[in-house]
């Protein structure tokens, strides 16, 4: 079952004809592992299938999958429309492209499909989506945006790290390319960094032959091998995390110290019906918005009192994590009136759900304004 690990950087040929053919067409042969490698290729096939895509490429991080894909689609003078609130390094990539490479980027409110339509210019080349967005859990109607982009001849790319293809398949909804960080649920054990880009056979071949080989952003064989061990348990892990969240949601929703819970499958979420339409589940990640009366110190104190949730970035591993947004905001800049400053993101891992609930209850109990 477990894929063989080929650590080769380079592959040998016994005939000059085969060697010449490989030099002429690196997409079709394993010549050098910056391009193709059998361990990585075995996983490419599996991941493309999972996403309902014709083909995919694997990258050394989610961010390199995103940057390589974006760079392959735009040139100076082009315009990008991106969803507001996308992953922080994606937003920095767009700001860098616009400051240094003459590529205009418009950030739009993703909840409103009309906002994408209004932002289209004659030189718009790419619509960049991330649904749900990381902290605020806001959705874009992927099918509607795909339709309007297609009518205008614009390419669509969606970051699907939050959902994985088990809970959302952007390509089946009409999106051209789906990207995800493999460092989260796919890897599942907080021990690898990787990325996946899925799309049509033609687009993947073009990206492979240019940006993938030029930028050298591909996944290393050992990481692909690790990922191959993780995939068979993906469904079980995601099911466990999602089940725990659904069990604790009613408790969190009515807790007097919590203003609201941001989660696509929260029944009082404004976009609940859209979540039902385009997603098959919510996963283990949610954001608490603490009541406005709480100071930065009170919020950080709550996070420190948690014993089963460790303070860390990322998610998707075996252990539960907590990330208070205000940990990244200097004390003098903290403003309790700003909703985002009161965000506390929880990732529910694979521990016993009842124990996690008890831990939250105890830590919230000691929280004072």
Site residues for ligand PLP per CB under 6 A: 61-63, 87, 130, 134, 159, 161-162, 181, 183-184, 193, 195
Backbone angles phi, psi at 60, to 5 degrees: -80, 0
CB of residue 369 vs ligand PLP: minimum separation in angstroms? 31
Residue 280 or 314 with smaller CB distance to ligand PLP: 314
In the numeric block, which tokens belong to residue 338?
Answer: 């700003």
Tokens 């599996």 found at: 46
- Minimum Å gap between C-beta 248 and ligand PLP is 21
Alpha helices in the chain (DSSP H): 16-24, 38-51, 62-73, 88-100, 113-119, 142-151, 164-167, 201-207, 213-215, 221-230, 234-253, 272-278, 296-305, 353-365
Question: Least distance from C-beta 121 to ligand PLP, angstroms?
Answer: 26
Buried-exposed string 309-345: b where 16+ CB fall within 10 A, e elsewhere: beeeeebbbebbbbbbbbeeeeeeebebeebebbbbb
Residue 201: both structure tokens together:
């056979």
Q: For residue 16, which of 27, 28, 24 has the smallest C-alpha distance?
A: 24
Beta-carbon contacts of 332 under 8 Å, excluding residues fewer than 6 positions away, are none
Place of tokens 């100076």: 76
* Identity of the residue, 242 or 363, whose beta carbon is nearer to ligand PLP in the bound complex: 242
Residue carrying structure tokens 């910056």 = 34
Distance CA 221, CA 179 (A): 19
Q: Report residue 52 as tokens.
A: 């309902």
For ligand PLP, the closer CB: 124 or 181: 181
Q: How many residues does the chain have?
A: 369
Minimum gap (Å) between residue 363 Cβ and ligand PLP:
24
Residue with smallest beta-carbon separation from ligand PLP: 62
- Could you tell me which of 125, 136, 122, 53 has the C-alpha nearest to residue 88? 136
Q: Of 120 and 193, which has the nearer Cβ to ligand PLP?
A: 193
- Give 178 or 308: the residue with its C-beta nearer to ligand PLP: 178
CA atoms 206, 95, 275, 326: torsion sign:
positive
CB of residue 181 vs ligand PLP: minimum separation in angstroms? 3
CB of 134 to ligand PLP, least distance (A): 5
Residue 39 vs 160, nearer CB to ligand PLP:
160
Q: How far is the CB of 70 from ligand PLP (least distance, A)?
A: 12
Q: Min. distance of Cβ 317 from ligand PLP in angstroms?
A: 12
Nearer to ligand PLP, 181 or 240 (CB): 181
Q: Is the CB of 31 or the CB of 68 nearer to ligand PLP?
A: 68
């Amino acid at each position: 079952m477990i894929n063989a690990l080929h650590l080769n950087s380079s592959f040998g040929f016994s005939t000059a004809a085969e060697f010449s053919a490989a030099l002429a067409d690196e997409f079709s042969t394993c010549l050098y592992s910056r391009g193709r490698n059998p361990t990585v290729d075995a996983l490419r096939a599996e991941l493309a299938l999972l996403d309902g895509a014709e083909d995919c490429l694997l990258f050394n991080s989610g961010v390199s999958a995103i940057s390589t894909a974006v760079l392959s689609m735009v040139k100076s003078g082009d315009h990008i429309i991106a969803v507001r609130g996308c992953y922080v390094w994606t937003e920095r990539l767009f700001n860098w492209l616009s400051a240094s490479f003459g590529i205009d980027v418009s950030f739009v409110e993703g909840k409103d499909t009309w906002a994408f339509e209004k932002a289209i210019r004659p030189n718009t080349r790419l619509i960049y989506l991330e649904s749900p967005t990381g902290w605020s859990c806001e959705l874009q109607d992927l099918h509607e945006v795909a339709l309007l982009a297609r009518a205008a001849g614009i390419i669509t790319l969606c970051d699907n790290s939050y959902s994985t293809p088990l809970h959302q398949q952007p390509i089946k909804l009409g999106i051209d390319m789906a990207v995800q960080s493999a460092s989260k649920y796919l890897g599942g054990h907080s021990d690898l960094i990787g990325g996946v880009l899925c799309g049509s056979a033609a687009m993947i071949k073009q990206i492979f032959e240019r940006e993938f080989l030029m930028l050298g952003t591909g996944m290393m064989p050992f990481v692909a091998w690790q990922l191959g061990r993780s995939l068979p348990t993906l469904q079980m892990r995601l099911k466990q995390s999602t089940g725990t969240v659904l069990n604790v949601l009613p408790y969190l929703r009515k807790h007097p110290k919590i203003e609201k819970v941001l989660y696509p499958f929260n029944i009082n979420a404004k976009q609940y019906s859209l979540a039902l339409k385009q997603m098959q589940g919510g996963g283990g990640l949610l954001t608490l918005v603490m009541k406005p009366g709480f100071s930065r110190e009170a919020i950080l104190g709550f996070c420190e009192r948690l014993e089963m949730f460790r303070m860390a970035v990322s998610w998707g591993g075996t252990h539960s994590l907590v990330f208070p947004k205000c940990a990244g905001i200097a004390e003098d800049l903290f403003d309790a009136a700003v909703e985002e400053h009161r965000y506390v993101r929880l990732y529910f891992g694979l521990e016993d759900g009842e124990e996690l609930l008890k831990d939250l209850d105890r830590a919230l109990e000691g929280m004072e304004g």
